[in-house]
Amino acid sequence: MPSQARPFFEQLLAAMMKPDREALEKLVHPDFMGDFPQSGERARGFAQFWGQLEAYPGGAPGDVDALPGMRVVGDEERWAMSPGYSVVPLADPTRFTIVGSVVYPDGVRWHIIMSVELRDGRLFRSETYFGPEMAAPIAESIAARSRG
């Protein structure tokens, strides 16, 4: 049975991209904590979450289509039967991973992976990793050999 995760995350991302403070605040838990391990940033509560969004380079993209190919991993409940014939969940129905990308104002596409936890139907915890798109090293090596 599919969960309601994808519609929730579509609403969340749409509110972030506009940005729509009122809509976003309804989707973020009051005890929210978001970590960005690469930069060492941490947002505690909605005010800091909003502050990070406002500080996004060049402002928010303004359109949820700026996140092409967004996938919500864990969007379906999955269950298994144990050897003792009890049914157990294979994943926590409140934890998901969002995979997508965004184009920065300088035109470089950045890939984003966000591990999230929901509580009371709202975004409670997030851990976000990001990195710029780059050519595959093997492709660069082949191109260099063909030039030289």
* Residues 63-83 pLDDT 10s: 555 455 677 776 566 666 767
Residue of higher predicted confidence among 145 and 54: 54
Instruction: Note whether 69 and 101 are within 8 A (CB).
Output: yes
**What is the average pLDDT across 7-16?**
84
pLDDT at site 148: 63
Q: Residue 28, SS3? A: strand
How far is the C-alpha of 27 from the C-alpha of 112, rounded, in Å?
20
pLDDT at site 60: 66
Specify the DSSP class assigned to residue 121.
Answer: T
How far is the C-alpha of 110 from the C-alpha of 102, rounded, in Å?
5
Residues forming a β-bridge with 119: 122
Instruction: Tell me what the pLDDT averaged over the chain comes to.
Output: 80
Name, of 9-13, 53-57, 118-122, the range with top average pLDDT: 118-122
How far is the C-alpha of 13 from the C-alpha of 28, rounded, in Å?
12
Q: Which CATH number fits domain 5-147: 1.10.10.10, 3.90.230.10, 3.10.450.50, 3.40.640.10?
A: 3.10.450.50
